[in-house]
Structure 1
């Protein structure tokens, strides 16, 4: 038996938008990161002593940036799951239970 055995007669569903969205995510990640990091970079460029002033604004923009990154990561995981679920079905090696096959049962005193 091979490592991945396809389910005979399994249905593979056609992909729709998940591949298109997955290919666009790097652009969205870069564009969103630039948008949310622009105020941070501007504040750093304008004033070297940023940490002593406007600490609340910096925290808000860092929070928005990390929230956006989390959203992109969650979307990536979700799209990968959809792609895997639409693929072909696979079967594992059968595991016969002792109740189903009496020859597999070990009774005391028998070998």
Structure 2
């Protein structure tokens, strides 16, 4: 038996939007990161220190940046799952159950 056994007669669905969106994700990640980092870089360039002044603003933009990264990562995982699910079907190795003990099916009444 090989590791991956394709299901005979399995249907493979054509890809549609998932590959188009997956190819655009790096560009979206870069542009979104620049949007959230630009105010921090501007503040750092003007004032020289991000932690002593505008701590709330710095924390907000860092939180938004991490939230955006999480959203992009979740979207990427979801698209990869869709691509895998549209691929060919695979058959698992058979697992034969041990002999059943018929006396356990109907226990005696109490």
- Whole-Å separation in 1 of the counterparts to 2:3 and 2:83: 20
Aligned length: 100
- Following superposition of structure 1 onto structure 2, how do residues 47-86 of structure 1 map, counting pairs within 5 Å? 47-86=47-86
Q: Partner residue of 2:104?
A: none
Q: Deviation digits for residues 36-56 of structure 1, max 9, x if unmatched? A: 100001111111132111100
* Contact 2:18-2:79 within 8 A present in 1 as well: yes
CA distance in 1, matches of 2:81, 2:23: 15
What's the CA shift for 1:3?
1.1
Question: Where in structure 1 do 4 or more consecutive aligned residues deviate above 4 Å?
Answer: none
Q: CA deviation at 1:57?
A: 0.5
How high is the TM-score relative to the length of structure 1? 0.86
1:39 paired to 2:33: no
Instruction: Find the aligned partners of 2:49 and 2:63 in 1 and give their Cα distance.
Output: 20
Residue 25 (structure 1) aligns with: 25
